[in-house]
């Protein structure tokens, strides 16, 4: 189930916004119950065979996918359940333990002699489990992947999914809208939201049927020239960023664009670009942080409400000064890199 608080338009009354708790069915992937070694082979794919003995390479690529999972051992009468805290850069041959009353032996010798295990992949990194000793000090246990099984009912977190797996999951779990509507209705009934004394006490009401809202799509921004001609830049160079926000119209009575250049060539390019732009005309000045305050202060006194400031890519000091002055003058400023301006225009 996916749930969250959303701002919904026209949910309770026309032309008004209201906060709503939105719940819907969500398909969530779970980790398959299998040996950790089998999961690792699937994660590495065809690259595994040639790099099997390179434990550092294997650790770098799969540790993030395995870290945090709970596993259970299968080589003893009493299984041990523990969390994977990481992977080692050693393997069964290169990690040693001190046997009680005897010499140090490799983990390969220990497991093969004690539990008679025939390992397929003894060169794999070992699973790391951290624990507290009886003396309250930090200890580490190492387990072979081939004796650890991933436990059931563990969700696949976002950082454990690669882009390909995410696309595949979305494709396979897509639900037709009509079926999703039925499943959401069943979900609502199972939550027993109707008549809840807690919701009633908070003044929260639950709709019997899914609410219907009218969505609006923002058209891409346009470049307007002095000849009144308009041009839509090629996407994705100039498109709106979806931030899951509610957009409402606003009015800006006076604004100006200011281009700060760092080299003479930038100044020449800016002069060429701005000659064909519509009002408010872009002003070109040399990039200096010292007089930026006077510039913004001057526009503030003239009643300007917004300033779009293009600056060289490496001029962080200008951006910091710009935002500091914004707090003092209340003129809204927006900084944009010269390279971004070039990408949009050309």
Expressed as residue numbers, the domain containing 331 is 223-345
Reported as a single tens digit per residue, the pLDDT across 205-224 is 887 777 777 776 777 777 77
Q: Give me the phi and psi of 17, to 5 degrees please.
A: -100, 145
Reported as a single tens digit per residue, the pLDDT across 54-74 is 899 999 989 999 999 999 999
Q: Identify whether 196 is part of a domain.
A: yes
Same domain, 251 and 322: yes
Q: Identify whether 165 is part of a domain.
A: no
pLDDT confidence of residue 265: 63
DSSP state of 185: H
Q: Identify whether 12 is part of a domain.
A: yes
Same domain, 44 and 67: yes
Q: Identify whether 162 is part of a domain.
A: no
- Looking at every residue in the chain, the average pLDDT score rounds to 82
Same domain, 197 and 94: no
Same domain, 17 and 86: no
Distance CA 143, CA 285 (A): 65
Distance CA 151, CA 32 (A): 8
Same domain, 334 and 252: yes
Q: Identify whether 243 is part of a domain.
A: yes
Q: Is 126 exposed, middle or buried (0-12, 13-18, 19+ CB in 10 A)?
A: buried
Question: Quick check: bond before 314 cis, omega within 30?
Answer: no
Distance CA 36, CA 199 (A): 44
Reported as a single tens digit per residue, the pLDDT across 121-163 is 999 999 999 998 888 889 999 999 999 999 999 988 877 877 7
Reported as a single tens digit per residue, the pLDDT across 227-251 is 777 777 766 666 666 666 655 667 7
Same domain, 98 and 192: no
Quote the percentage of the chain above a pLDDT of 70: 82
* Helix segments in the chain, DSSP class H: 36-44, 48-51, 55-66, 107-115, 163-172, 177-191, 197-202, 264-274, 292-301, 316-329, 338-345
Q: Identify whether 127 is part of a domain.
A: yes
Same domain, 52 and 10: no
Helices 316-329 and 292-301 meet at what angle, rounded to 10? 30
Distance CA 259, CA 281 (A): 11
Same domain, 43 and 68: yes
pLDDT confidence of residue 174: 82
Number of compact structural domains in the chain: 3
> Are β-strands 2-9 and 17-24 bridged in parallel, bridged antiparallel, or unpaired?
antiparallel
Same domain, 16 and 45: no
pLDDT confidence of residue 131: 92
Distance CA 235, CA 254 (A): 28
Ramachandran bin of 153, using left for φ above 0, alpha for ψ from -120 to 50, beta for the remaining angles: left
Domain at 246, CATH number: 3.40.50
Same domain, 197 and 272: no
Q: Identify whether 244 is part of a domain.
A: yes
How many CA atoms, within 13 angstroms, populate the side-chain half-sphere of residue 246?
A: 11
pTM over 0.75, yes/no: no
Same domain, 71 and 110: yes
Q: Identify whether 267 is part of a domain.
A: yes
Distance CA 45, CA 31 (A): 17
pLDDT confidence of residue 282: 63
Please report which confidence band the pLDDT of residue 226 belongs to, taking 50, 70 and 90 as the band edges: low
pLDDT confidence of residue 111: 96
Check whether 113 has a pLDDT greater than 90. yes
Residue 97 vs residue 250, higher pLDDT: 97
Same domain, 246 and 340: yes
- Taking CA atoms, 180 is separated from 5, 102, 185, 301, in Å, by 20, 64, 9, 56
Reported as a single tens digit per residue, the pLDDT across 262-318 is 666 666 666 666 556 556 656 666 656 667 778 888 888 888 888 888 888 877 777
For residue 261, give every residue at least 6 positions away whose Cβ sits within 8 Å of its Cβ, in sequence order, or none. 267, 270, 284, 285, 286, 287, 312, 338
Q: Which tokens go with 140?
A: 């580490």
pLDDT confidence of residue 278: 59
Distance CA 276, CA 323 (A): 29
Q: Which tokens go with 129?
A: 């489990």
pLDDT confidence of residue 175: 84
């Amino acid at each position: 189930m996916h749930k969250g608080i959303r701002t919904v338009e026209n949910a309770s009354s026309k032309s008004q916004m209201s906060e709503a708790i939105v719940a819907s069915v969500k398909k969530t992937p779970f980790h398959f119950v299998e040996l950790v070694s089998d999961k690792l082979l699937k994660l590495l794919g065809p690259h595994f065979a040639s790099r099997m003995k390179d434990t550092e390479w294997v650790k770098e690529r799969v540790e993030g996918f395995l870290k945090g999972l709970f596993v259970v051992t299968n080589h003893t009468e009493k299984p041990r359940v523990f969390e994977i805290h990481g992977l080692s850069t050693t393997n069964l041959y290169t990690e040693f333990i001190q046997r009680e009353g005897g010499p140090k032996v490799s983990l390969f010798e220990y497991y093969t002699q004690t539990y008679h295990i025939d390992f397929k992949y003894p060169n794999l990194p070992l699973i790391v489990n951290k624990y507290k000793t009886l003396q309250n000090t930090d200890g580490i246990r190492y387990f072979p992947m081939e004796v650890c099984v991933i436990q059931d009912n563990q969700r696949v977190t976002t950082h454990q999914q690669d882009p390909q797996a995410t696309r595949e999951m979305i494709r396979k779990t897509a639900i037709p809208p009509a079926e999703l509507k039925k499943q959401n209705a069943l979900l609502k009934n199972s939550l027993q939201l109707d008549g809840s004394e807690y919701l009633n006490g908070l003044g929260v009401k639950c709709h019997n049927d899914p609410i219907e809202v009218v969505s609006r799509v923002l058209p891409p921004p346009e470049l307007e020239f002095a000849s009144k001609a308009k041009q839509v830049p090629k996407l994705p160079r100039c498109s709106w960023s979806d931030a899951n926000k509610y957009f409402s119209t606003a009015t800006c009575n006076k604004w100006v664009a200011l281009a700060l250049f760092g080299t003479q060539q930038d100044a020449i390019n800016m002069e060429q670009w701005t000659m064909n732009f519509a009002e408010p005309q872009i002003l070109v000045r040399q990039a200096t942080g010292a007089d930026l305050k006077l510039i913004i202060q001057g526009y503030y006194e003239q009643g300007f409400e917004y300033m779009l400031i293009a600056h060289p890519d490496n001029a962080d000091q200008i951006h910091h000064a710009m935002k500091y002055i914004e707090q003092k003058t209340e003129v809204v400023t927006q900084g944009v890199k010269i390279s971004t301006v070039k990408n949009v225009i050309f």
